[in-house]
Structure 1
Amino acid sequence: MLFWHSQPEHYWPTSAEHYQNPASSIYRETIQLPFLKQEDQPPIVPQCPSFQCVLRASSSPAVKLHEETLTYLNQGQSYEIRMLSNWKGITEMSEGRRLLRSVVRVVFHDRRLQYSERQQLESWQLNHPGDRILDLDVPLSVGVIDPLVNPNTLNTIEFLWDPSKRTSIFIQVNCISTEFTQRKNGGEKGAPFRIQVDTYKADSHGGSTEHLYSCSCQVKVFKPKGADRKQKTDHEKVEKRSALEREKYQPACETTVLTECAPWPDTDATRSPHSTPNNFRTPTPERACSSPVCALTAPLNAREQSLGPSASITETQQWLVRNRFSNYCRTFSNFTGADILKLSRKDLTQICGVADGIRLAHSLTARSVRPRSTLYISTERTEKKHSSNDTSQTVYQEVYLEDMTAAELTTKIADLFGIPANHIQRISKTGPQGIHILLTDTMVRHITDESCFTASLQKLPDSDGYHCILQ
Structure 2
Amino acid sequence: VLVRRDCCCFACNVIQIVIETAKNLRCRYSSVRPRSKHNVNMLNLNLPTNLRCRYSSGRPRSKHNSVIMLMFREEKSPEDEIKAWQFWHSRQHSVKQRILDADTKNSVGLVGCIEEVSHNAIAVYWNPLESSAKINVAVQCLSTDFSSQKGVKGLPLHLQIDTFEDPRDTSVCHRGYCQIKVFCDKGAERKTRDEERRAAKRKMTATGRKKLDELYHPVVDRSEFYQMSDLMKPPVLFSPSEDIEKLTSMDLQFYGHDGDSLSGASDNVKSPFLLHANKPTTPTLKFHNHFPPDVNTDKKDPSIIMDGSLVGNMSEFGPQIKRQRMTPPLNERVMLYVRQDNEDIYTPLHVVPPTTVGLLNAIENKFKISTSRINNIYRKNKKGITARIDDDMIRHYCNEDIFIIEVRQYEEDLYDITLTELPSH
Instruction: Output the TM-score relative to the length of structure 2.
Output: 0.50
Higher relative strand content: 2
Higher relative helix content: 1
